[in-house]
Structure 1
Amino acid sequence: MITDTIYEHLRDIQTAKVEPLISKATTIDPSDTVSSVINKIIKDNAYDVFYFDGKSTLSTNIRALLNAKNITQMNIDPFLYPIPHISPNDSVQKAADILTHYRIREVPIVQKNQIIGVVTAKRILEILSTKDNRWIKANLIYTQNPITISSEELLGNAKKIMTSKRLDHLPVVSQGKIKQVLTSAHILEYILPQERQGKKSFKGKTTHKLEFKIGNIGSTRIPQCTPNDDLNKIVDSMLKTDTTCCLVNLWENLQGIITYRDVLELLVSKLEAAIPLYVVGLPEDQTNINLISKKFENTLKKVQKVYSEIHEARVSIKQQRTGDKKEGKYEVTIIVTTSHHAPLIFSSVGFDLSEVLDELGQKLLRSLSKHTNRYDNKRSRKSIRKMRHPIF
């Protein structure tokens, strides 16, 4: 399978230590005001900021701060949330797991109870660009049918989409064509200048910035590619233009988008199983995590007996936390790709990770049993003129 081949091709990068990739971190204090943190982000050209409280690492980022109000008086503390950190001896793969799972661009590195730096998604892409990846095509990695927005829409609507859908890139449509890409950083920087100049700048202003139309706000220097362009060309164009996405077009029609996250997912952890199984977000504090993983592998084996044409399965586990409590519900999503229909996506939430995975395994088994029956009925017909094969 092509995913297995890619995984083996990138193994040297996956297993490499992150120490040579360390760069400066943007650190803050919970007592800092939101405005001062935003100023640090803009000054350092950063996306994520971090604070280490002696036990765990807290973080926030540009997208989260789009919801901030009263930025000159409000402290940053309510916007901080726990995030895993790594050590200099950890692997690039572990960094990629955290980057993709938490939808961030920088992973904090902690040593001797101090944040000594970060590993950025961009730095990992620079390492990827040194390999011969010309046989890996855009249609293997891009996100299909990305959400777009009209240039006539308000900035406030763009902000709502980004925060609710956890997106940082919105292609902007004007007169039927993509003219630019609006990012979370654009919105943050656009609504800030007057607030940073002081209270006097608000006098005489009757319309809030978020009530303005998008218009031509955004970047027009976004690289573009076709579904058949190779990974080297895509990554090189993103690095050269210092952008975090690439648009995928076919005959001037937008087919998809490639972001840092799409590329880094090529490096995420894979468990050895009969079906290629990629798991992100396994909690390290679970004493029976190996048993839970093995249990889900066995579920996949049962599924394969019912439906043999599964390409791969991806599991994303996120623990919901409230305040300072370590305990919380597990939010689990399973994505299964097969030969004959679009990816199957199942999600569930619960306090017991093992029970949640059991529930999702049963949903998967029932769903694929139905698909198998439908497929068998189609095969019994005298002629099948067309079959739909989605691009993964």
Structure 2
Amino acid sequence: MFDELAAQSVGGFVVDFPVLSGSQPVYEALGVLQRTELMSFPVKLEKGYGVLQAHSMLKVKSPDTKIGLFAKRVPALSQDTSVGAAAKLMVEHRVQVLPIVEDEEIIGVLRADRVLSGVLKRGAKGLSITDIMTSNPITIDANDTLGKAVRLFTENRIDHLPVLSKGRVAGMVTSKNVLVLLLSPGEKLTQGGWGLEALNQKRLPVGGITVGPVASEVNEDYSEALKRVLESRSTYTLVTLGEELQGIVTLRDFLKPLAEHQSTVELPIQISGLSDDMLADGAIKQKLKRLAIHATKTIPSVFEIRARVKKVGPSGKTFEVNLQLYTPKKTVNLSDTGYDILKVFDKIERRLKQSIKQEVNPPKKRFPKRMQ
């Protein structure tokens, strides 16, 4: 039932969405966050693209901090990317939006709720809400402080905390709820602080900002629960048995059945510095594709590959290739030169294999023998 939608391109789901630069301050990001029901939005970084999430903003200590420092690096989509591949990337990277890029510029975004509207139109017969829920979610008591909520949000990198009172569901508090309170003008003036420090000073109970939850009964139909979430413009539903919490389902969880229809995701590969004629035969792209396949098998966290090619040397006949493999935590840089560009890529591939081999099996340290 998901096959048709999974095979479509994301081009039909592109929407306009505010895009900030990584050099802009956090207080500008809050304004964007308040105007959307989602918990994240795209950011154009100095190198690549990212998503700023509400729980990450709670780590900030100054409203003037640049948002690029807290944005999570994510892969960019093209308009030809399949919906199934995009859903898989959203699930893997735990985000609700992904940028859609053309000529290295963000032309729009793909939103999880927009994709799920497409799922709802087609139906999802035979699926229950319990099939996709996260059991035993992290919770907080209504009498606990907002400082504890911030700690749970940031340490666990989550945006939803079900609130319990005497073991029963009392409501929901989100990272965005806390942000809006934390960043209000009065808060900044009276507290003179930011983030966790300001919240710990106030010691406000979570129950003071708890809102009534969107909830579904155990074994409720997937489509019925999704319809309720989308109509309420929510990003989650709690799963309950009476007043007892059984689990939680976020937009990411709703995407999982669609993502499962995509066995692999081809890495986004961006090439610059080559003429149209050189790209036409596809030989270079094929080399990069082979590199991508090898990289994803050995470094599963790689989500983007960029290759920059330029001619160097007195005669301008030598190719210099700089290859960058992006992961959420680091960027692997490899470069080489030569007269035959295909052989240059072969050399880089061998170096990549060698560097991976050394990382997996680092050489043992040798210590000098002690004198008896």
Q: Give TM-score scaled by structure 2 length.
A: 0.70
Structure 2 match to 1:127: 118
Letter in 2 for 1:114: E
Deviation at 1:83, TM superposition (A): 1.3
Structure 1 match to 2:290: 287
Letter in 2 for 1:318: S
Is the CA contact 1:41–1:47 (under 8 Å) kept in the aligned structure 2?
Answer: yes
SS in 2 for 1:318: coil
Q: How does 1:1-392 map to 2 (within 5 A)?
A: 9-52=1-44, 56-71=48-63, 73-194=64-185, 199=189, 201-202=190-191, 208-210=198-200, 211-220=203-212, 222-269=213-260, 287-288=290-291, 290=293, 317-319=300-302, 320-322=327-329, 325-326=331-332, 352=356
Letter in 2 for 1:263: F
Is the CA contact 2:19–2:43 (under 8 Å) kept in the aligned structure 1?
Answer: yes
Higher relative contact order (CA 8 A, sep 6+): 2
Is the CA contact 1:268–1:280 (under 8 Å) kept in the aligned structure 2?
Answer: no
Deviation at 1:29, TM superposition (A): 2.2
Is the CA contact 1:162–1:184 (under 8 Å) kept in the aligned structure 2?
Answer: yes
Which 5+ residue runs of structure 2 have no aligned equivalent?
270-287, 303-326, 335-354, 361-372
> Distance between the aligned counterparts of 2:266 and 2:156, measured in 1?
19
SS in 1 for 2:18: coil
With over 3 angstroms needed to count, the CA separation of the structure-2 counterparts of 1:62 and 1:180, relative to structure 1, is same
Is the CA contact 1:224–1:247 (under 8 Å) kept in the aligned structure 2?
Answer: yes
> Distance between the aligned counterparts of 1:226 and 1:282, measured in 2?
39
Show CA shifts across 1:281-301 (max 9, x none).
9786773554688x89xxxxx
Letter in 2 for 1:209: L
With over 3 angstroms needed to count, the CA separation of the structure-2 counterparts of 1:49 and 1:131, relative to structure 1, is closer
Show CA shifts across 1:96-121 (max 9, x none).
12211111111111112211111101
Q: Give TM-score scaled by structure 1 length.
A: 0.66
Deviation at 1:131, TM superposition (A): 2.0
Structure 2 match to 1:307: none
> Distance between the aligned counterparts of 1:179 and 1:231, measured in 2?
23
> Distance between the aligned counterparts of 1:74 and 1:98, measured in 2?
28
With over 3 angstroms needed to count, the CA separation of the structure-2 counterparts of 1:54 and 1:69, relative to structure 1, is closer
Deviation at 1:133, TM superposition (A): 1.8
Deviation at 1:317, TM superposition (A): 3.7
Letter in 1 for 2:144: E
With over 3 angstroms needed to count, the CA separation of the structure-2 counterparts of 1:112 and 1:279, relative to structure 1, is closer
Bigger Rg, which one: 2
> Distance between the aligned counterparts of 1:136 and 1:46, measured in 2?
25
Show CA shifts across 1:262-290 (max 9, x none).
1101122557xxxxxx5679786773554
Deviation at 1:169, TM superposition (A): 0.9
Show CA shifts across 1:4-36 (max 9, x none).
xxxxx2011111111221112221123321112
With over 3 angstroms needed to count, the CA separation of the structure-2 counterparts of 1:81 and 1:241, relative to structure 1, is closer
> Distance between the aligned counterparts of 2:178 and 2:232, measured in 1?
20
With over 3 angstroms needed to count, the CA separation of the structure-2 counterparts of 1:321 and 1:90, relative to structure 1, is closer
SS in 2 for 1:157: helix
Structure 2 match to 1:6: none
The number of residue pairs the alignment matches comes to 294
Is the CA contact 1:180–1:216 (under 8 Å) kept in the aligned structure 2?
Answer: no
Pick which of 125-134 and 41-50 moved more.
Answer: 41-50
Is the CA contact 2:50–2:72 (under 8 Å) kept in the aligned structure 1?
Answer: yes
With over 3 angstroms needed to count, the CA separation of the structure-2 counterparts of 1:223 and 1:322, relative to structure 1, is closer
Pick which of 210-219 and 174-183 moved more.
Answer: 210-219
> Distance between the aligned counterparts of 1:255 and 1:232, measured in 2?
19
Deviation at 1:85, TM superposition (A): 0.8
Is the CA contact 2:100–2:110 (under 8 Å) kept in the aligned structure 1?
Answer: yes
Letter in 1 for 2:301: K
Letter in 1 for 2:84: Q
SS in 2 for 1:58: strand
SS in 1 for 2:73: strand
The percent of aligned pairs where both chains have the same amino acid is 25
With over 3 angstroms needed to count, the CA separation of the structure-2 counterparts of 1:36 and 1:53, relative to structure 1, is closer
SS in 1 for 2:223: helix
With over 3 angstroms needed to count, the CA separation of the structure-2 counterparts of 1:264 and 1:45, relative to structure 1, is closer
> Distance between the aligned counterparts of 2:130 and 2:333, measured in 1?
39
> Distance between the aligned counterparts of 1:27 and 1:97, measured in 2?
22
> Distance between the aligned counterparts of 1:152 and 1:14, measured in 2?
44
Structure 2 match to 1:339: none
